[in-house]
Copies of this chain bind each other. A is one copy, B any other.
Amino acid sequence: MKPQFEHPTCDECRSRLGNVFCSLTNAQVNEMDSEKNCSIYKKGQIIFNEGNKPAGVFCVNKGKIKIYQTGEEGKEQILRLAKEGDVLGYRSLISGEAYSGTAAVMEDATVCFIPKRTFFDFLHTNSDLSTKMMQLLSHDLKEAEARLTGLAQKPVRERMAEALLMLLEFYGTDKEGSINAAISREDIANIVGTATETTIRILSDFKTEKLIELLGKKIKIVNHQGLIKTAHIYD
């Protein structure tokens, strides 16, 4: 049994205004509001599991989530991160297949579930949503392909620098100017596609080189230009 609490309303949801659902009609927002089902998830909980069939999409109201695939030896490869405003599970729902990844909570989250029927109804009647979904998928695809090429061609050090810049971009900074997320070294390793020990060593190198500062799980980027250079984003 999921805990009961005050459900956020789609109408006032700041997340919704920034995502693919921003152009729903008032009637659709109301329908979504009555059909949706919101839950609170604690750190470590699974939202959906690789291999299961999707029954709808998830809309993140709050929290931090990782979507990963589990390889041979149980090692995770993180495919995507999600935060407030992000929608999850559309890829599998649209292609009518089982989830190809698992969504797990990294930081306590409030997530709303929108049933398949409702989502597809919107998709068929709102061509603007269709367009936005296509753009979202195109964006994801571009991202995935860029990472693919990087993984095949760039050394770990460069990918690590890229990952830090991505994390900064994605989460922003807190009052101290650190990346606004507490991510384990293991998770960073699973984003970059390397071993945890290697991640620890390279972060330590970056610290020595005054590119970043480390305070526990908090990472502060102190030389942005230097990291960009390290990432070889310009050659």
Contacts and interface: CB of A to CB of B under 8 A. Distances in A.
A140 B91 CA distance: 10
A127 B134 CA distance: 12
A97 B138 CA distance: 10
Contact of A153 (B75, B127, B148, B235): B75
A135 B94 contact: yes
Nearest to A135: B95
A230 B24 CA distance: 49
A109 to B, nearest CB: 22
Contact of A71 (B75, B141, B153, B193): B153
B95 A148 contact: no
Interface of A: 69, 71-73, 75, 77, 79, 90-92, 94-97, 100-101, 123-124, 127, 130-131, 133-135, 137-142, 144-154, 193, 232, 235
